[in-house]
Structure 1
Amino acid sequence: MDNSLFYGDLATSKRVIYTPSKFAHSQLIHLQEIGELQAQKPHISQRENLSSFLFFIVTSGSGSLIYGNKEYKLHTGDCIFIDCHKAYSHLTSANDLWSLKWIHFYGPNMTAIYEKYASRGGLPCFHTVKGQAYTNIYHDIFTLTDSNSTSRDMKIYEKLVGLLTLLMEESHNQIKPFSDNNKKRNLQNIKEYIDTHYADKITLEQLSSKYYINKYYLTRSFKDQFGLPVNSYLIQVRVTHAKQLLRFTELSIEKIGQECGMNDANYFSRIFKKIEGIAPGEYRKMWKM
């Protein structure tokens, strides 16, 4: 770990270059570098092919980010979250020199996590309404880098997961918000209907007719609000109830499939294995041992 304060012609910066344990490096989302800077002169930073993900928040001033062949204007309260395998550059404006707080981190499945963030509407650049939450996480991690705790890497991992959770939550806010509170309430009614009637035959057409809502709007808006398409959510609910019956009843697998709205035993087994990675019978055996 290198905890250094740099004074230069271009920027004043405080940073920690962090080396995690071998275990954390291979198994956890781990910190690589954390720091903050105050620009002294206009300058540009460029990187590419870096095995890292970068988050930073503009705490004052303005500038821009070039990422994915697109330029994003940045101002106080704006955040960026990018995959540094791709080329990127950022620069402070000449007339409004910025200050930043940044975190470089990496780990197993980070590429998949970032793809999930993007698929939910997450953007490389966005304005946050939770700036204090991000700065709190930043300061917690910075403090932890100088900790003598034997579980330091686990605690940093916990904070980085908190950062990702916050980013995921705000990714939904980057999607056009619901403008009609009644429609939003109807979607909650639809979710509750699925939770209660999962054993029945449920189709988009049926839900559309029952709740007087366009099925295409329903498809898009249900995913926006709850993170899954209607059919995927229905399958998730059915599999969850199937798991309960497999563990706590002696019903046959075929009967359990029927109780959960999947009357074809082969279809039930196929869907269950796709979600859980093992067949229903294997799941029952494993959890009843």
Structure 2
Amino acid sequence: MLSRLPRTSVSFKFETNLPLLMLKGIGWESNTSHQYVWQGSKRQDEHFLFQYTVSGQGELEVKGRTYQLKAGDAFIIEIPSDHCYRLPPYSDNWEVLFLEFSKEASPYWRQLLNNTGYVVSILPDSFLLQLAWKIYEWSVREEESHSMYQCSSYAYQFVMELLSYSQKIQMSKQLPSKIELCKQFIDAHYAEPIGLKEMAEAAGLSKFHLTREFDKKLGISPTDYLTEVRIEKSEKLLSSTDDNLESIAKKVGFSCANYFSKVFKKRIGITPNQFRKNRYEISRILYN
């Protein structure tokens, strides 16, 4: 199948008031120039990227940490953010398949990062990769009708399959006991006024050692993981209850509604009230 397909890239742009997860772009390319360098902090086009290494080698740098990417490795990243991906000096080719998703992918990407970190190895015969190529084939076929709803459908299919794949990887991992202790402590006490000091005590490590090892194993700091858990729990309350923001903030561990709203908007891109309204609109359209 792949031999019949052109190597190109396709962008999608649809006008809609619905907060739908959308596929913004997809491409298959071979990069042989060492000018292939993407600085994430300098980019303005807000989206989420999945990039799979078909062959050759590439490199991803996130917050000062470098990952070498070989065939079968994929990375997931938010744009813009503090990262850089490039064709490194030791490689003469980096063949990639990439998919770009709209900002509505934010909560899913946070869960993916919690599950696998920035880099994940994907088996070439996996359903996830087969789906990626299927979406690519649909995108480049000129005779296809690229409707907004089909584009969104493929976006949801791929992201859900990626989440499922990442969940299996997470379940197969054996975390060091002290890191697991910290993670369990956060999951159980997120609603309480805990910080790095309490987390380190629960794990039996110094704050410095805990932060280093937690990030090394999970790709995220313990304080950031705590924030992610609190935001995820707040999303469920916003979607399933009529509680006011002050009540929700207290239930998930924030000191007040104002601080909760600031953190929520920074992480998700919209305010808690906008998030609640969007979920209501989607439910009304789907079920009415």
**Which range, TM-score by smaller chain?**
0.5 to 0.7
SS in 1 for 2:50: strand
- Asked whether the equivalents of residues 49 and 86 of structure 1 are also in contact (C-alpha less than 8 Å), the reply is no
CA distance 1:88–1:178, shift in 2 (3 Å): closer
Is 1:160 aligned to residue 160 of structure 2?
A: no
* TM-fit CA distance, 1:86: 0.4
- Residues 50-69 of structure 1 show CA distances to partners (whole Å, capped at 9, x for unaligned) of 30100011011112111233
Q: Note the aligned Cα RMSD (angstroms).
A: 3.8
Name the counterpart of 1:246. none
**Relative CO higher for 1 or 2, CA cutoff 8 Å, sep ≥ 6?**
2
CA distance 1:149–1:74, shift in 2 (3 Å): closer
1:120-135 correspondence to structure 2 within 5 Å? 120-129=114-123, 132-135=126-129
Is 1:114 aligned to residue 109 of structure 2?
A: yes
Instruction: Supply the distance in 1 between the matched residues of 2:148 and 2:142 (Cα, whole angstroms).
Output: 10
Instruction: Supply the distance in 2 between the matched residues of 1:151 and 1:59 (Cα, whole angstroms).
Output: 25
CA distance 1:95–1:150, shift in 2 (3 Å): closer
CA distance 1:229–1:40, shift in 2 (3 Å): same
The number of residues matched between the two structures is 185
CA distance 1:171–1:121, shift in 2 (3 Å): same
- Asked whether the equivalents of residues 68 and 86 of structure 1 are also in contact (C-alpha less than 8 Å), the reply is no
Instruction: Supply the distance in 2 between the matched residues of 1:178 and 1:85 (Cα, whole angstroms).
Output: 29
Q: Normalized against structure 2, the TM-score is what?
A: 0.52
Is 1:56 aligned to residue 47 of structure 2?
A: no
SS in 1 for 2:116: coil
Instruction: Supply the distance in 1 between the matched residues of 2:12 and 2:146 (Cα, whole angstroms).
Output: 15
Name the counterpart of 2:232. none
1:70-85 correspondence to structure 2 within 5 Å? 70-85=65-80
Instruction: Supply the distance in 1 between the matched residues of 2:22 and 2:132 (Cα, whole angstroms).
Output: 14
Unaligned ranges ≥5, structure 2: 175-179, 192-235, 244-288
Give 1 or 2 for the bigger CA radius of gyration: 1
- Residues 86-145 of structure 1 show CA distances to partners (whole Å, capped at 9, x for unaligned) of 03322224445120000111043x222222322x32311121236543332223323333
Name the counterpart of 1:38. 30
Instruction: Supply the distance in 2 between the matched residues of 1:49 and 1:29 (Cα, whole angstroms).
Output: 19
* TM-fit CA distance, 1:151: 7.5
Q: Structure 1 counterpart of 2:96, which letter?
A: L
Name the counterpart of 2:165. 170
Name the counterpart of 2:240. 276
- Asked whether the equivalents of residues 51 and 85 of structure 1 are also in contact (C-alpha less than 8 Å), the reply is yes
SS in 2 for 1:16: strand
Structure having the higher strand fraction is: 1
SS in 1 for 2:160: helix
* TM-fit CA distance, 1:41: 3.3
Is 1:18 aligned to residue 3 of structure 2?
A: no
- Asked whether the equivalents of residues 128 and 162 of structure 2 are also in contact (C-alpha less than 8 Å), the reply is no
Instruction: Supply the distance in 2 between the matched residues of 1:173 and 1:230 (Cα, whole angstroms).
Output: 25
CA distance 1:156–1:69, shift in 2 (3 Å): same
- Asked whether the equivalents of residues 29 and 107 of structure 1 are also in contact (C-alpha less than 8 Å), the reply is yes
Unaligned ranges ≥5, structure 1: 7-12, 180-215, 233-271, 280-289
Give the ranges of 4+ consecutive aligned residues of structure 1 lying more than 6 Å apart after TM superposition: 147-151, 228-232, 272-275
Name the counterpart of 1:201. none
Name the counterpart of 2:97. 101
Q: Normalized against structure 1, the TM-score is what?
A: 0.52
Name the counterpart of 1:142. 136
Name the counterpart of 2:231. none
Instruction: Supply the distance in 1 between the matched residues of 2:237 and 2:38 (Cα, whole angstroms).
Output: 45
